[in-house]
Every structure is written in C-alpha cells, then in structure tokens.
Amino acid sequence: MERTLAIIKPDSVKKNVIGKIINRIEAEGFRIVEMRLVRLGRDEAGAFYTVHRNRGFFEDLVAFMSSGGAVVLLLERENAIAHWRAVMGATDPAKAAPGTLRREFGFSIERNAVHGSDARETAETEIGFFFK
C-alpha cells in the first residue's frame, strides 16, 4: 500500500464538484485515510508550492490556491502516487486525456481542478504539510 496527497483545488470547490471528484476517488479504489476542507493563506500556499517559487506563474498560483476553500485528502491504494496522477491527467487540461479529472473539470493550466504528489518523497512531505 502506498499513500499520496490529493487536493481538490479552489476552482473545483467553487464549481460544487467536490462530490463528483470524491466519487471518482472512491471508484478508483482509493481509501480516504484523512480529509479536510481548508482555506490556505498566501504564506501556506507559497510554502506548499515552494519548489515553484522562481517560476513566472508562482504569484498567480499562490493567489489562486488561497482564493477559496480547498479539500486536502490523504489517499491510500496500491501504486497510489502514479495511479492518482493518471486519474488527474496532464497539468494542462487542454492536453489531458479524455476521462481524466483535469480534462473534465479543469479550466486552464493554472485552474486545473486537482493536485497530486509526484513521487514518494514529495508525497511524504506533502502529507506531513497537512496531516501531522
């Protein structure tokens, strides 16, 4: 069993699709170990995405992620990290495959509906960020 961190981003919360995304999470065989609705402050959002702090999109990303509620989930499944990335689809919804969450619910490369950890080490760090 492997664990990963998922976030239902503020664009999805505003669109009232938390339930649809959680349905998909359950249908894909993940166990929801922990889950919380949060409102990230700018500092928190910046700290979470610190790896991107020198990118041109960083300030916009921080503003977006702190613009409203978000749902953070600790998910467990076999091969959880790669499987959740596959269910999410590519970062840019326009390039995400049909049937992926980002293709279905994403609006732009920034407002792309969901987050998922990208590797074992980042999953551990990101889980620790929200769930002590």
Contacting residues toward ligand IDP, per CB under 6 A: 52, 57, 61, 91, 109-110, 112, 115, 118
Q: Which residue is nearest to Mg ion (CB)?
A: 118
CB of 92 to ligand IDP, least distance (A): 8
Judge whether 64 and 14 are in contact, CB under 8 Å. Answer: no
- Cβ nearer to Mg ion, comparing 20 with 85: 85
- Cβ nearer to Mg ion, comparing 24 with 116: 116
CB of 85 to ligand IDP, least distance (A): 8
CB of 14 to ligand IDP, least distance (A): 15
Partner whose footprint covers residue 112, from Mg ion, ligand IDP, none (CB < 5 to 8 Å by kind): ligand IDP
- Cβ nearer to ligand IDP, comparing 2 with 118: 118
Binding site for Mg ion (CB under 5 A): 118
Which amino acids are annotated catalytic? Answer: 115
Q: Is the dihedral of CA 82, 49, 26, 93 positive or negative?
A: negative
